[in-house]
Amino acid sequence: MHLFYTPDITGDRYVLNSEESKHCVKVLRLGVGEALALVDGKGNWYNAVIERADMRGCEIRVTERIGEYGKRPFRLHLAVAPTKNMDRMEWMLEKCTEMGIEEVTMLNTAHSERKVVKADRLEKVIVAAMKQSLKAYLPRLNPMADFKKLVASSQEPCKFIAHCHEGEKKRLEEVYCPGKDVVLLIGPEGDFSEEEVAFARQHGFVEVTLGNSRLRTETAGMVACHSINFINRV
């Protein structure tokens, strides 16, 4: 099934933009009467057919709308300090979107090597991964946030911080309750500072380990995402 992202769709008729129309007609070689699917990123899935195959504006007719397509019974919010090499962050976002995630925040921490990110590029990676994995919900990409401000304002019932410092830490399967909304913090390549870990603990965050191996930031983000989804059996 060929899937197209149409965030502004409202009725049973839609015209693809020039870029998507060219991809549909010239690259995929789809013609009049052929089936495709549309998603708006808000949970709506539209089965549709092509009524006019035009590279300048391909006209689509919706035949069926399915609301809350693939909606999950919990929300996963991953807050991660971006790596110096943004290719690694793009890889992580791609894989997390494919597995299933609702919200992502890039964190500005004490040891962060990158203080600025290009949100438009990351958004394109997320959209492409959503389409590739046939999802109807587009993960929310938040503006870069200060560590302490995010920690102090987090409202999720389950709050975790993963780090490599010594001390007692729990595995996610020991402390996470399936079906609950969760926020999980992943530090930079130099890890969270001890002060940041203490601050998170004071605000209700539980310290967790992602295993015995020392993981790269982007690997830790993907492992955390997979672990929460695995515990929820999704």
Give me the residue spans of the domains in the chain. 3-66, 76-231
Residue 16's CB is within 10 A of a number of other CB atoms, namely: 24
Please give the model's pTM, rounded to 2 decimal places. Answer: 0.94
In CATH, which superfamily holds the domain spanning 3-66?
A: Hypothetical PUA domain-like; domain 1 (2.40.240.20)
Question: Each residue of 142-162: b (16+ CB within 10 Å) or e?
Answer: eebeebbebbeebebebbbbb
Q: How many Å from the N-terminal Cα to the C-terminal Cα in the chain?
A: 22
Amino acid occupying residue 213: S
According to the model, what pLDDT value does residue 91 have?
97
SS (H, E, C) the chain: CCEEECCCCCCCEEECCHHHHHHHHHHCCCCCCCEEEEECEECCEEEEEEEECCCCCCEEEEEEEECCCCCCCCCEEEEECCCCCHHHHHHHHHHHHHHCCCEEEEEECCCCCCCCCCHHHHHHHHHHHHHHCCCCECCEEEEEEEHHHHHHHCCCCEEEEECCCCCCCEEHHHHCCCCCCEEEEECCCCCCCHHHHHHHHHCCCEEEECCCCCCCHHHHHHHHHHHHHHHCCC
According to the model, what pLDDT value does residue 143 have?
93
Q: How far is CA 170 from the centre of its chain?
A: 25
- Answer whether 3-66 and 76-231 agree in fold: no
Per-residue pLDDT of the chain (234 residues), as tens digits, is 799 999 999 999 999 999 999 999 999 999 999 999 999 999 999 999 999 999 999 999 999 999 999 999 999 999 999 999 999 999 999 999 999 999 999 999 999 989 899 999 999 999 999 999 999 999 999 999 999 999 999 999 999 999 999 889 999 999 999 999 999 999 999 999 999 999 999 999 999 999 999 999 999 999 999 999 999 998
According to the model, what pLDDT value does residue 50 have?
97
CA distance 139 to 16: 22
Output the CA–CA distances (angstroms, integers) from residue 202 to 80, 95, 98, 161, 206, in the order listed.
Answer: 19, 31, 33, 12, 9
Radius of gyration of the chain (CA): 20
Positive or negative, the Cα torsion across 216, 222, 228, 232?
Answer: negative
Query: What backbone phi and psi angles, to 5 degrees, belong to 100?
Result: 125, 115
**CATH architecture entry for 76-231:** 3-Layer(aba) Sandwich (3.40)
